[in-house]
Amino acid sequence: MPHSLGPRCPMVYMLLFLQTRVTGLTTPPENRKLWRTRSINGPETPKFAGLGESTKIKVTVSSLLSLKLESDAEYMDQKRGDVLLLPFFVWVRNVTIENAGKVLDRVVPDLIKYRDQQVTELPDISYAEFPEVDVKPDPSKAYVFFCSHRTRDKKCGVTAPIMKREMDMHLRDLGLYRDFSDDRPGGVQVAFVNHIGGHKYAANVIIYLKSSGKNIWLARCKPLNVVPIIDQCIVEDGKVWPEKVRQVQKFKAVEW
């Protein structure tokens, strides 16, 4: 069951839009409207029923990058992007503003099916109506996201860059650091996300662990917490500290 310092929240799946070339972590209005309309907010919603205990999807923009941000005009103009689906650890690339909802209507049920079948290698997924869309598993063992919004809560905007720098250094020492161009399996990617958690829970850290299916939400974190987060929470697959935990979620883990 989720462990929360505050009111019990429903389990949440996360969609991450890639960061654009524009400075900051704010999505353009058309993107924001699109993804909000795709959110699933109640158990009565028939779509994606196989998600299990949760029918709520969290959508946020991130600082994760794509090589196409330097070479594809539609990526640079924010008309096309890539989506990371967690906790599935799957990338859906070449999604447009116009087809994003329909693409997810096809992709998510397939991922649920393969996850429930406990397939160890995700088969090639393609759709005749979306020939340009590319669906691929992510080889990372974990993702870590820091809330870094500077206007909603300055504590996040100040603390997050320091913590990310410390985390990148320690991950390098352990051979676990990965950036967006490094697809070696078993690494950890660290990125910034838009504001989450409210002012009461500043300095938020969101961790997704592939092998256990856990999503761990820590709050009130400081740079001195970075090494324990890596060594005990990520490497040891889920150890947490009650005074820092806002919520722990357990999803059905994927095998790919």
Phi, psi of 239 (to 5 degrees): -65, 135
CB 113 within 8 A of CB 47: no
Alpha carbon distance 40, 51 (integer Å):
11
CB atoms within 10 A of CB 212: 15
Distance, C-alpha 209 to centroid of its chain: 11
Question: Regarding the domain delimited by 12-137, which CATH topology (the fold level of the hierarchy) does it fall under?
Answer: Glutaredoxin (3.40.30)
pLDDT digits (tens, 9 = 90+) for 51-78: 554 455 666 767 787 778 777 888 778 7
Q: Output the pLDDT for position 57.
A: 60
Domain 142-250 homologous superfamily, CATH: Glutaredoxin (3.40.30.10)
How confident is the model over 6-39, as pLDDT tens digits?
A: 333 333 456 765 544 333 333 333 333 233 323 3
The three-state (H, E, C) secondary structure of 8-26, written as one string: CCCCEEEEEECCCCCCCCC
Task: Provide the residue ranges of all domains of the chain, joining segments of one domain with +.
Answer: 12-137, 142-250
pTM: 0.79
Q: Is the peptide bond before 87 cis (omega within 30 degrees of 0)?
A: yes
Token pair for 205: 């850290």
pLDDT tens, 173-184?
A: 999 999 988 999
